[in-house]
Structure 1
Amino acid sequence: MKRALSKRSLTRLALVPAAATVFTMIPLAGSAFAVGCNGTGCENKGPVSMGCDADGHTVLVGEVYSDNGGRTDYELRWSNKCWAGWARTGDSKWAATISVEKWNPDRTKLITRRTVTIKNGQHDWTNMVGGKGYMVRACATEKSTGNTDCTKFVGTDS
């Protein structure tokens, strides 16, 4: 003899798939989220919004000076997970423009440049350039004097 399920039992059964779906959406402790782009797919995207800043590290540091001795420090940053780089500065007392440049391997042709202007007392970063087989560097220009400095080139193959 078959027994009919009560309304309460049917409601409980209906909740099981919904609860399973919710729990699969919650990451386990220690799990890492995937980055949002890779290589040339990171072109002109933000390192923070794409998750590339999570493993980003400073490759080179540069500094540019104003006429009165003020200094703006800037960095070339790189993410191995995203295979992309960007320029960043810390708090700066001076207005400056920072950029990250991607060049062909023999450094005879600029392929792309991403730039951001930093106001007095602020910090920021550029969007990214990415991909293997290129040379990248970061540059900064002090706003009031036009003094410019660039880091050395770094190959994106290693």
Structure 2
Amino acid sequence: MFLVAALMLTGVFALGAPSAYAVGCYGDTCYNKGPVAMGCTKDQRLISDPAWGGSLQVLYSPACRAAWAASDWMPNWNCFTLQIERARSNLIVQARLGVEFCPGEAREWTNMFPGGWYFRAVANRSSSGGGSSDYTAWVFR
């Protein structure tokens, strides 16, 4: 009894640690869901961006264990497709999720893939007739 009372007084004894916040999905349940709607942006981490310094990014949430692509508007571009691509260690693209991004939108993001893959973000101008693409480096999460 004395040990329990001592632990309670020192704060070591706890019934349960409260989480920092609740998220709407975790791992596989995040597949193709929006990071904002699921609360995954609250602890987002930048895990890859392009070497040329643009705003194309791969973001990851440890709480959701999921990744997505995001970008601010790229000047001098018409509409483009923002995508997140996923691959295994051979870096052959196995799946992608995308969203159309057009002038007038300040920031856009894709839906999410669960972790455990290699990811990169792609800005593809083929939808606007330019035909070129920009990429981030591949990163594993």
Bucket of the pairwise TM-score, normalised by the shorter protein: 0.7 to 0.9
Match of 1:61 in 2: 49
Residue 39 of structure 1 and its aligned partner are, at CA, apart by: 1.5
Matched position secondary structure for 2:29: helix
- The one-letter amino acid paired with 2:114 is G
Runs of 4+ in 1 over 3 A off after TM superposition: none
- The one-letter amino acid paired with 1:116 is V
Deviations 1:38-82 (A, max 9, x none): 112211000001110000122222389xxxxxxx63111111111
- The one-letter amino acid paired with 2:87 is W
Q: CA RMSD in A?
A: 2.3
Unaligned stretches of 5+ residues in structure 1: 1-29, 65-71
Match of 1:13 in 2: none
The structure 2 residue matched to 1:47, chosen from 35, 40, 46, is: 35
Say if 1:58 and 1:78, in contact at 8 Å, map to a contact too: yes
Note closer, same or farther for the CA distance 1:128–1:135 as it changes in structure 2 (3 Å cut).
same
After the TM superposition, which residues 104-123 of structure 1 pair with which residues of structure 2 at under 5 Å, given as runs? 104-108=88-92, 110-122=93-105, 123=107
Matched position secondary structure for 1:62: coil
Say if 1:77 and 1:85, in contact at 8 Å, map to a contact too: yes
> What is the identity percentage for the equivalent residue pairs of Structure 1 and Structure 2?
34
Match of 1:78 in 2: 60
Unaligned stretches of 5+ residues in structure 2: 1-17
